[in-house]
Amino acid sequence: MTTTDALSVEQSTGQHRHLGWALVLICIAQLMVVLDSTIANIALPFIQKDLDFSASTLTWVVTGYSLTFGGLLLLGGRLGDLFGRRTVFMIGLVVFAIASLVGGLAQDEVMLLISRGFQGAAAALAAPSALALITTTFPAGPQRSRAFAVYAAMSGVGAAVGLLLGGWLTGLSSIFGLDVDGWRLTFLINVPIGIAAALLAPILLAESERHPADLDVPGAITGTGGLLAIVYGLTRAGSHGWTGGSTLGFLIGGIVLLGIFAFVETRVQHPLLPFRIFASQTRASSFVAMMLLPAAMFAMFYYLSQYVQLVKGFSPLHTGVAFLPFCVGMVAAATIASSLIDRMSPRILAGVGTLIAAVALFGFSRIPHDTSLPIQAVQGGYWSHLFPYIFAMSFGMGLTFVTVTLTAVHHLRAEDSGIGSGVLNTMQQVGGALGLAILSTVATHVMTSDTDKITAATAGQGQPSAHMLATVQQQIFAHGATTAFLVGSIMALVGSAIIWLFLNVKHTELATDGPEGVHVG
């Protein structure tokens, strides 16, 4: 064997050895940014009390992160394509750690919401670069399928891990002998993880090829502004009505801005969102499905985590443990999907997954909430009312996430892999923010209507006891939440229909690599 051959073998072996650690690093970073979408959910009642949040503003602790995350993902993906994905990945991790530190030290709602916005912006830099690094590092076929399965599992498991970790941390009153509010630890824990991941990135990850071009600043402003306006308008609809001036103003303004964004993207030389990535029918349907399904999943975590605390009386840690089956189902489904994706049609895998998720959401909508029932009936057993549907939801989402992630980024041009990953993540995060806004509007409307009816029916009957008032409030909340779950199940069914009708790539094609021009739709 010549010296050149030996060096080639050594480099190949080294590269293979580092692939595993590179995937671990990427998945840790992905886990961190995803779990922050839910880690604060369990802490919401404590955050509301300590920082004096209003009920209408409280949702923005979750929505603000998801929205800035999703709204800036296209820009983050493009920056990775232009200036190097490892560099942008590292910058995102460092900014995320700093923003988390500020959030953990927040003294009022403004400071916390600003930190959440910066967390989302930093996640928008890190996430698309992470996914693109998998696309360009792992060869097409079983190796890439397994890498995507692990990545997709982290994306789903991260949400459940966020609830478990958030419940444990929220229940703590001291750490290292220092008195600290437990909810603050849900933010501070990101600081060492983010810094460590940023330091390891140059060691484990290779820098991508750079493609210098002009940044599409007008596209970034109009696209992000349009998404912000629409989600804010949807959020206001719950408290101000759909015909309220401010609601209509933000919704119409958001639509106009998105229209301008679409116009700008067809005119600039280097668009933030090249519409050519939607040319594939399969890729376009994957993007739409990835918007609808997380919309229902995010709302499930938001309402179910509050339901088990406010109605069932679970402690924060108990609440986190209640979602452990989600991790198990997600990992099991991701493992099955990665082994079947090379032998079975992606349409069948993702289509069955979405149907299972829709059934699970419908199951959540059947949680008892009748205000005529005693509270004991509303507090039905965890194993009968919640466990089967938590597991089914995770299993369905696991099958779908792995499959749709593969079909969405398959056959992208190398210079578009960052923006393609950005679009996929955008659909997931913006879908989650839009879904939470829409379903919270539905839930708020139901709860307001129930409150008005009960107030009218009990007028002149004297002040109810504290116990009776608490019981009625719990049941009203349960009614609003279950209605939101029902609408979420319809969203999942729409996503399923799109997959069955339009996801048209064959499993044999996923084992090949090639340029954008290869027909996959």
Per-residue pLDDT of the chain (521 residues; tens, 9 = 90+): 443 333 333 333 344 446 778 888 888 888 888 777 777 777 787 888 888 887 667 878 877 887 787 778 778 877 887 888 889 999 999 999 999 999 999 998 899 999 999 998 998 888 888 877 887 777 767 777 778 778 777 766 777 777 778 778 777 755 555 556 778 888 888 899 999 999 998 888 877 667 666 778 888 889 878 877 877 777 676 566 677 788 889 889 999 999 999 999 888 887 878 888 887 888 888 888 888 887 777 778 778 888 887 787 787 778 878 888 888 898 889 889 888 888 888 899 999 999 999 999 999 998 876 544 444 444 447 888 889 999 999 999 889 988 888 888 777 776 666 677 777 777 877 777 778 778 888 888 888 888 888 877 777 676 777 777 777 888 888 888 899 999 999 999 999 999 999 988 777 776 665 444 444 33
Nearest to 93 by CA among 5, 163, 166, 32: 32
DSSP tag of 175: E
Biggest CA-to-CA distance, the chain: 97
H-helix segments, 189-216: 190-204
**Total Cβ atoms within 10 A of residue 435:** 27
Q: Return d(Cα 159, Cα 148) in angstroms, integer.
A: 17
Looking at the DSSP bridge assignments, the partners of residue 174 are 179
**Radius of gyration (Cα) for the chain, nearest Å?**
23
pLDDT at 180: 62
pLDDT at 16: 45
3-state helix/strand/coil string of 108-161: CHHHHHHHHHHHHHHHHHHHHHHHHHHHHHCCCCHHHHHHHHHHHHHHHHHHHH
Nearest to 156 by CA among 350, 354, 328, 359: 328
* 84, two tokens: 């190097």
pLDDT at 374: 43
Q: Which residues contact 278 (CB under 8 A, 6 or more apart)?
A: 284, 287
Q: What is the CATH number of domain 14-215+270-511?
A: 1.20.1250.20
Helix (H, G, I), strand (E, B), or coil: what is residue 178?
Answer: strand
Chain centre to alpha carbon of residue 446: 25
Determine contact, residues 115/103, Cβ cutoff 8 Å. Answer: yes
Q: Return d(Cα 58, Cα 64) in angstroms, integer.
A: 10
